[in-house]
Amino acid sequence: MRADSIKIVGTGLIGTSLGLALARQGVTAELADTSKANLRLAIEYGAGRESSEEPQLVIVCVPPDLTAEVVAQELRKHPGAIVSDTASVKSEIYSRVLDLAPEHAGRYVGSHPMAGREKSGPGSARADLFFARPWVITSTTESKSDAIDLLKDVALRIGALPISMSPKQHDEAVALVSHLPQLVASALAARLIDGQASQLDLTGQGLRDTTRIAASDPTLWVQILSQNASEVTPLISALRLELQELEQALAGLDQPGALAKVHSLLERGNTGISRIPGKHGGKFVDYQQLTIVIDDSPGSLASLLAFIGDIGVNIEDLKLEHSPGAPIGLVEIQVDPASVELLAKQLVDNGWRIV
Amino acid sequence: MRADSIKIVGTGLIGTSLGLALARQGVTAELADTSKANLRLAIEYGAGRESSEEPQLVIVCVPPDLTAEVVAQELRKHPGAIVSDTASVKSEIYSRVLDLAPEHAGRYVGSHPMAGREKSGPGSARADLFFARPWVITSTTESKSDAIDLLKDVALRIGALPISMSPKQHDEAVALVSHLPQLVASALAARLIDGQASQLDLTGQGLRDTTRIAASDPTLWVQILSQNASEVTPLISALRLELQELEQALAGLDQPGALAKVHSLLERGNTGISRIPGKHGGKFVDYQQLTIVIDDSPGSLASLLAFIGDIGVNIEDLKLEHSPGAPIGLVEIQVDPASVELLAKQLVDNGWRIV
């Protein structure tokens, strides 16, 4: 099943990115937004045109607190259409849609593309935002199978990876992999308010990484968390108890077993992190890394990449590790495992240094 | 004051990187390690030669638990030398050195280069590990001023940024910016052990970043934390109380003020993160970012960089944001603010797309 006319309601980061991704597949989305400024910007970016036709599929991309109401409106407005949404919580929205528009609920299927940025608005949109990212489709026994198929097709067309779950399974999963980390990062960053500037001058990459998402929008997150409080609360509780035990162990290091407790937490941290699938969805794509030393001169990176390009190897990911002013840089590239040996040999044979 | 003969005891990541950094400045360090394999590898890497001469300065780069003893040994072995160390805790080591070698303590100055990697051993060493990074020198009233000057000179010579603090000030600062984040990341990652694989499949960049340092070595960290327990414990306690309040707020969202509490935590997280100085030491260097769209074809990044190289602009940092298989990539570069306008104009004039 294919949807040829798709309406996107809400042209923020997600809605506009979705429009751009569809445009690349030759589908011109119909766009709607209560903010005329956002709508105009999204259209200028090429995310679609103003809505006019009767759509087959409506995707609601508005903040979580508004989602159920807008979904219900769209279900009524377009009695022939399938309606979905992209909010990052699912159970509560589903039950509110059931309340607001029970007679239309079969045409509603929730979804959640697992993609986003700290920046928001149409100006931050990217056509490849959903590429190779999971797109959770939360169907229930009420959902029409057409509805699920239509949404799956959209996800696949823009390169996302559709995953089916119930709303409850989804909310449990994001409580663990998204909501808990957000709260922990915020709580950790909040501790910095009391830090002296001379202390913060010693900040390294560890603190930067652990707190990066603490820059997220509080208003959006209050909406998300308040709709998923029942799933998040027990996780916070378990983490808090863990910290409490650690605190006791560190406060009584002379007690038997205290050091072992600290060691156990750190070791379980090792185990926990090893369970995260590799980058880019892990199980789907598995690239191999090569690190090459280059001079810090304009053009040295260019000549390395030109060399790799001449061999015909595509670079899937690249990071330059380089301290300003340092005489060398380290280029970390991710390439197809099938080409990595040949590439490494060619590089070394031609005088490049691999570390 | 300059040290012309420097002995490095311990050729792991830090000792070997230090040797490499000195070698680049024309100083051949004298290396010592109880592990013959590490020592040999460090020498092969060019970090120095086996120790034979009487050194002016000894820098002890061994695990925190061994540091005080090795410092005391070196103070006795080289009665004319200044001795320092690079362990990431300072107060306890200082008081143990005072106990072990009170008559030599004036020749000891502690230090802590704020640099490291999750990987360890000489094989992970990098000559630029310390470049543009703070190097804390923890002097006390006992410290000879020569000792401080000698160490400061070494830090400056390899491009690090010497910062003076007392051992206590240092330990308070790292408790906040390094030890607390480590424990929080480990505790968060430990929660993943109970997660289902289907839940972890939804992992995004947020969880990856917040838990990255949970991969660190538990044995090393038990040593660090047990030497800084008195500074870390109150911070864990404050964070735990914060989580407890949050838990209560989320468990009783219908109570007056509950949502405001959640919002406040998220907002304080925003405030806290804004206090972290910018990348590369922030106040020292301030680059500007340009994001350029390229095609996903071998050579397209090379031709962009060749173009930038031809203009003569040096790229200080580069990141390729690219989903595998996506038809475009986004190249984020950091350049000198003085060249950014010219560069942007030249890029656009020549058909490159800036976002």
pTM, full prediction: 0.80
Domain at B288-354, CATH from 3.30.70.260, 1.10.3720.10, 2.102.10.10, 3.90.1150.10: 3.30.70.260
Distance CA A21, CA A131 (A): 9
Distance CA B92, CA B104 (A): 17
Closest residue of B to A177, CA-based? B203
A135, A114 Cβ separation under 8 angstroms: yes
Distance CA A42, CA A49 (A): 9
Contact call for A325 and B214, based on CB within 8 A = no
pLDDT, mean over chain A: 89
Which residues lie below 8 Å from residue A35, measured CB to CB, with a gap of 6+? A11
Contact call for B214 and A308, based on CB within 8 A = no
Q: What is the pLDDT of residue A303?
A: 84
Q: Which of A38, A222, A221, A190 is nearest to A116 (CA)?
A: A221
The CA angle B81-B87-B89, to the nearest 5 degrees, is: 120
Q: What is the pLDDT of residue A296?
A: 67
Closest residue of A to B230, CA-based? A251
Q: Which of B172, B202, B303 to mutate to test the interface with A (most CBs of A within 10 A)?
A: B202
> Above pLDDT 70, what percent of chain A?
94
Q: Which residues on chain A are in Cβ contact (under 8 Å) with B198?
A: 163, 165, 169, 173
Domain at B6-165, CATH from 3.40.50.720, 1.10.10.10, 3.40.50.1390, 3.40.47.10: 3.40.50.720
Residue type, B173: A
Superfamily of domain A171-251: 6-phosphogluconate dehydrogenase C-terminal like domain (1.10.3660.10)
How close, in Å, is residue B78 to chain A by CA atoms?
32
Which residues lie below 8 Å from residue A229, measured CB to CB, with a gap of 6+? B250, B251, B253
ipTM of the assembly?
0.79
**Which residues of chain B are modeled with pLDDT < 50?**
279-285, 323-325
Distance CA B233, CA B242 (A): 14
A48-107 residues touching B, CB cutoff 8 A: none
Instruction: List pLDDT tens digits, range A34-53.
Output: 999 889 988 988 999 998 88
Q: What is the pLDDT of residue B323?
A: 46
Domain ranges, ordered by start, for chain A: 6-165, 171-251, 288-354
Distance CA A191, CA A210 (A): 13
A80, A30 Cβ separation under 8 angstroms: no
Q: What is the pLDDT of residue A282?
A: 37
A35, A61 Cβ separation under 8 angstroms: no
**Which residues of chain A are modeled with pLDDT < 70?**
1, 118, 278-286, 296, 298, 321-328
Q: Could you please report the per-residue DSSP string of B37-74?
A: HHHHHHHHTTS-EE--S--SEEEE-S-HHHHHHHHHHH
User: Please, what is the angle between helix A258-274 and helix B218-227, to 10°?
Assistant: 140
Strand order in the sheet with B108-113: B49-50, B30-32, B6-9, B57-60, B82-85, B108-113, B134-138, B161-165
Q: What is the pLDDT of residue B101?
A: 96
Instruction: List pLDDT tens digits, range A295-316.
Output: 767 678 888 888 888 888 878 7
Q: What is the pLDDT of residue B246?
A: 97
Distance CA A103, CA A285 (A): 42
Q: What is the pLDDT of residue B275?
A: 94
Distance CA B354, CA B344 (A): 8
Q: Which residues on chain B are in Cβ contact (under 8 Å) with A176?
A: 191-192, 195, 199
Distance CA B256, CA B121 (A): 55
